[in-house]
């Protein structure tokens, strides 16, 4: 088989050490291999980098093993062309399996050009990913804490959730803090929600009658403090994300400072920027505004999706490639000409989760294309498959909006009826005929 990379290396990365195997040209046209083991300490990784440079390696491949590959990648990316590969794609043949054999196998596959690199974004985008993913975890933790509040309320038989739409809304929080402070009179507790909820006064007083002990008050107080702490953390992270996506404003300098001598301008180019904004923050901010127009997409979802897929769609040959990478398209499992399964493949779980959230939000909108698509599919195949299908549509829309720079135009809830007008007519007529009616279709007269 043809050798594509004459001098390359395969890394088998573990928690405590790294097995590095270099594949080099040998005597008589044969390949020569040498393997060394390095610890994961920074000094040892840098020593491995120096050794690989001495061997003349141009390309390096390693498995995407948990988070262990990230520090190795960060230390080596400026000196080599690095391929981070899905571990499922480089399974070795059955037989003796050791860490050294794994490193050699990776080096062999790389030298023949048989590995496909995973998409690794730039450093600023990776940092933005860390922020959006951590914010998502905090939002999930806050939801769990709210569930704990409801569990404690059920233990006290306070039916607050039956009379309010949001247990952590304004009226609910006033009631909960009053309960923590020792108030148990349902009449006084109902005063906090007077005029703020739809439930009647009598219903409120009945719902707020229960048995609250000191133990319950302590638990509720801890839950509320934890929720407040999470809200503050989420707000701080959201502000940092907004700062990364906001282009820095040019300073208002005097004329002599705004146009310094050439020597000073040259020196300023080498200084590091003081702002934490992304290098192309203006493009990112514009992209957030573009996809925020799509039904079901919120500011938080827009920021999270862009952190995962980026703003440059040229890295994906088509919308189908992007959908496959995220994991919101049917998978391929075929044998003997028979399709065995169409289960979606594993992709980017963070982007997929955000798309599903957007799909559910779109399903609750009125008179929109995405809502019509969701309910059309859900009636036949269920809510889960409908959410994946709508998530796929949202991702395709995002791809084309970012590729073309156009704005979102909703097709409307009647799109499918207009597209399949004759089929819809026949189906409805047959349905009425089965009910015993004789149907004759007449077009409505045009107004005016």
Radius of gyration of the chain (CA): 30
Burial readout 70-84 (b: 16 or more C-beta within 10 A, e: otherwise) = eebbeebeeebebbb
Which residues share a beta bridge with 38? Answer: 18
d(CA 74, CA 46): 11
How much is the pLDDT for 61? 95
How much is the pLDDT for 265? 45
Q: Two tokens at 205?
A: 């007083």
d(CA 4, CA 295): 47
How much is the pLDDT for 270? 36
How much is the pLDDT for 140? 96
d(CA 207, CA 187): 11
Residue 89 CB coordination number (10 Å): 13
How much is the pLDDT for 213? 94
Close Cβ partners of 121 (under 8 Å, ≥ 6 residues apart): 129, 310
d(CA 208, CA 189): 7
d(CA 423, CA 364): 26
402: enclosing H helix or E strand: helix 383-404
Boundaries of every domain in the chain: 8-111, 125-245, 296-330+346-404, 415-442
* 363 closest CA partner among 341, 385, 338: 385
d(CA 160, CA 308): 39
CATH number of 8-111: 3.30.420.10
pLDDT in tens, the chain (448 residues): 788 899 999 999 999 999 999 999 888 778 899 999 999 999 999 999 999 999 999 999 999 888 899 999 999 999 999 999 988 878 766 666 788 888 999 999 999 999 988 888 888 999 999 999 999 999 999 999 999 999 999 999 999 999 998 999 999 999 999 999 999 999 999 999 888 888 888 999 999 999 999 999 999 999 999 999 999 999 999 999 999 998 877 666 555 555 555 545 433 333 334 345 677 788 899 899 999 999 999 999 999 999 999 999 998 999 999 999 999 987 766 666 666 666 777 889 999 999 999 999 999 999 999 999 999 999 999 999 999 999 999 999 999 999 988 889 999 888 888 888 888 888 888 988 899 888 888 887 775 5
Residue 29 CB coordination number (10 Å): 7
Helix runs in 77-213, H state only: 99-111, 123-156, 160-163, 170-180, 186-191, 201-207
- Name the one residue in this structure whose structure tokens are 């400026």: 78
How much is the pLDDT for 44? 95
CA distance readout (Å), 415 to 244, 422, 438: 39, 13, 28
Counted residue by residue, the chain has a size of: 448
How much is the pLDDT for 256? 54
């Amino acid at each position: 088989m043809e050798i594509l990379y004459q001098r390359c290396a395969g890394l088998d990365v573990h928690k405590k050490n790294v097995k590095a195997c270099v594949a080099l040209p040998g005597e008589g046209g044969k390949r020569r291999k040498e393997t060394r083991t390095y610890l994961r300490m920074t000094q040892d990784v840098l020593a491995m980098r120096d050794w690989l440079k001495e061997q003349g390696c141009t390309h390096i491949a390693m498995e995407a093993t948990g988070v262990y590959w990230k520090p190795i990648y960060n230390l080596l990316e400026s000196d080599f062309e690095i391929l981070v590969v899905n571990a499922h794609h480089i399974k070795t043949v059955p037989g003796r399996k050791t860490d050294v054999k794994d490193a050699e196998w990776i080096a062999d596959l790389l030298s023949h050009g048989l590995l496909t690199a995973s998409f690794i974004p730039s450093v600023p985008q990776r940092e933005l990913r860390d922020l959006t993913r951590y914010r998502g975890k905090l939002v999930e933790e806050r939801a769990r804490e709210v569930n704990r509040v409801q569990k404690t309320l059920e233990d006290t038989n306070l039916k607050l959730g039956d009379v309010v739409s949001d247990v952590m809304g304004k009226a609910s929080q006033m009631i909960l803090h009053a309960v923590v402070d020792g108030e148990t009179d349902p009449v006084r507790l109902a005063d906090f929600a007077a005029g703020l909820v739809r439930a009647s006064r009598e219903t409120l007083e009945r719902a707020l009658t229960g048995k609250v002990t000191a133990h319950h008050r302590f638990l509720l107080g801890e839950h509320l403090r934890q929720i407040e702490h999470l809200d503050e953390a989420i707000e701080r992270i959201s502000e940092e994300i907004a700062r990364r996506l906001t282009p820095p404003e040019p300073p208002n300098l005097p004329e002599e400072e705004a146009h310094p001598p050439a020597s000073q301008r040259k020196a300023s180019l080498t200084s590091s920027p003081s702002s934490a904004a992304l290098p192309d923050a203006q493009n990112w901010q514009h992209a957030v505004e573009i996809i925020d127009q799509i039904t079901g997409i919120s500011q938080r979802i827009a920021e999270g999706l862009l952190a995962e897929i980026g703003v440059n769609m040229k890295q994906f040959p088509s919308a189908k490639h992007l959908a496959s990478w995220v994991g919101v398209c049917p998978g391929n499992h075929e044998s003997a000409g028979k399709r065995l399964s169409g289960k979606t493949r594993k992709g980017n779980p963070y982007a997929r989760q955000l798309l599903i959230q957007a799909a559910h939000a779109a399903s609750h909108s009125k008179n929109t294309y995405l809502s019509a698509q969701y309910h059309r599919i859900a009636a036949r195949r269920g809510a889960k498959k409908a959410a994946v299908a709508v998530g796929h549509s949202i991702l395709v829309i995002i791809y084309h909006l970012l590729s073309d720079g156009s704005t979102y135009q909703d097709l409307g809830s009647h799109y499918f009826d207009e597209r399949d007008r004759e089929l819809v007519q026949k189906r409805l007529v047959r349905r009425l005929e089965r009910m015993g009616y004789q149907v004759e279709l007449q077009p409505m007269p045009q107004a005016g």
